[in-house]
Amino acid sequence: MDIRTLTEKSPVIADMKEQKEVIWINPDKTDFASACVGAELSMKDIDDAEARLARFAPFIQKCFPETADRGGIIESVLTPIPEMQKLLNKKYGSGLSGRLLLKQDSHLAIAGSVKARGGIYEVLKHTEDLAFENGLLSEGDDYGKLASPEMRGFFSRYKIQVGSTGNLGMSIGIMSAAIGFTVIVHMSADARQWKKDLLRSRGVTVVEYESDYSEAVKNGRRLSDEDPMSYFVDDENSRNLFLGYAVAAKRLAGQLAEQNVAVDAEHPMFVYIPCGVGGAPGGITFGLKHVFGDAVHCFFVEPVNAPCMLLGMASGMNSAIAVQDIGLSGATHADGLAVGRPSGFVGGVMKKHLSGELTVKDAKLYDYMRDLLEAEDIFLEPSACACFQGPIRLMASPEGRAYVKENGLEGKLDQASHIAWATGGSLVPEEIREEYKHTYLD
């Protein structure tokens, strides 16, 4: 499709091409029940993933003592951030009523990012499959036995490979090394040096590429396919990754209940999640819709230079279009979000579930990072701060107000909750944090 046809299909693409910040409401969204008709995955699959993570908890607790306080369950806290809410309303005129909370996947144990959900789940699923096939384990066993030298010896014959811009490689790499797998992470040119160093320190082989993410993925997949003992983690199509992320929703329901935050027809919940290839925000959204149905409204946020999911959804072309096709570079300061082409699988699932998308300029990510430090003394990596574009811009925009009206939410906003999904940050080394704090872009 040429650019004129694209912008006729969806006018927002003209602004995206100019690297403007945009707000897009998904015209294809339906009610939850209709969206589920004919779906490949369901609540049963999410329950199955949650049960698998529970089986592995004794093993995780053994290998990663920092998970002991949750009994080997890797979960993050949900933190009310009223001071940030005040700051946003004052500084940006956000007009945000109700309450603002931060889901701190930035502080998830082991990998320090949202990837600790999908990436780790996928490695564990593959581990269980291999162990079952070889008669080394059955469902009723204490999975703590996977930490024995014999088991590690068995898994060391197998290889796991993945292409990554950073955080996915960290979660896959660290967990694979803990099981005993030989791990190779194929990293694109934009991956940060400290992430490569950290992985190498855990015994992970890091292969570096001059080119971008898709090249790293392509080569990693080829090398893995040539080796019968190797398993490739496919960030673009993996159902396992997706389901690992989806489990977050069930855990969140418990945390909201503990904090007496109601989510129902009278108490809408808005959720804002940074998006790269789409697996993490897509999986989380899929889970949230299954738990909260029509009461939850999910929005993705992408950088203005790499809005791949928005381009795929707004054009209707899904993964058949890349941001480079409309003249964008795909390059951004937002680690993990520098993706030019979205997951076709996730785009298909989100078509009827997602409420909309926002884009954000790189410069704002550093501002929001400093805002959160000032207001709440919480550090996030810049890419994770993309989540704040949602609460800052949505309610203050004509598009957002129209959405509220069309969904019958006027009059309910004072009892609404807004969740900014903080996707990464706790592993960022001190000297890099200092650098970020003093980064100002145009």
* Residues forming the site for ligand PLP (CB under 6 A): 113-115, 167, 274-281, 336-337, 381, 383-384, 423-424
C-alpha to C-alpha distances, 77 to 29, 175, 407, nearest whole angstrom = 30, 21, 30
- Minimum CB–partner distance for residue 113 and ligand PLP (Å): 5
**How many C-beta neighbours within 10 Å does residue 93 have?**
12
One-letter amino acid at 8 equals: E
> Helix or strand or coil: residue 40?
coil
Give the nearer residue to ligand PLP in terms of CB position, either 278 or 356. Answer: 278
**HSE-CB for 407 with a 13 A CA cutoff:** 27
Whether the CB-CB separation of 300 and 354 falls below 8 Å is answered with yes
- Minimum CB–partner distance for residue 54 and ligand PLP (Å): 23
- Minimum CB–partner distance for residue 134 and ligand PLP (Å): 31
Give the nearer residue to ligand PLP in terms of CB position, either 84 or 241. Answer: 241
Give the residues across from 271 on adjacent strands: 298, 419
Give the nearer residue to ligand PLP in terms of CB position, either 56 or 245. Answer: 245
Question: H or E stretch including 273?
Answer: strand 269-274
> Helix or strand or coil: residue 72?
coil
- Minimum CB–partner distance for residue 367 and ligand PLP (Å): 17
Whether the CB-CB separation of 171 and 426 falls below 8 Å is answered with no
Give the nearer residue to ligand PLP in terms of CB position, either 81 or 277. Answer: 277
Rounded-to-integer distance, Cα 246 and Cα 47, Å: 10
**How many C-beta neighbours within 10 Å does residue 290 have?**
23
Rounded-to-integer distance, Cα 252 and Cα 256, Å: 6
Give the nearer residue to ligand PLP in terms of CB position, either 131 or 233. Answer: 233
- Minimum CB–partner distance for residue 232 and ligand PLP (Å): 16
Rounded-to-integer distance, Cα 223 and Cα 407, Å: 49
Give the nearer residue to ligand PLP in terms of CB position, either 274 or 340. Answer: 274
- Minimum CB–partner distance for residue 342 and ligand PLP (Å): 8
C-alpha to C-alpha distances, 8 to 2, 134, 304, 358, nearest whole angstrom = 10, 56, 20, 20
The length of the chain, given as a count of residues: 442
- Minimum CB–partner distance for residue 79 and ligand PLP (Å): 17
Give the nearer residue to ligand PLP in terms of CB position, either 6 or 277. Answer: 277
Give the nearer residue to ligand PLP in terms of CB position, either 268 or 391. Answer: 391
Q: Where are the alpha helices (DSSP H) in 140-208?
A: 149-155, 167-179, 193-201
- Minimum CB–partner distance for residue 58 and ligand PLP (Å): 28
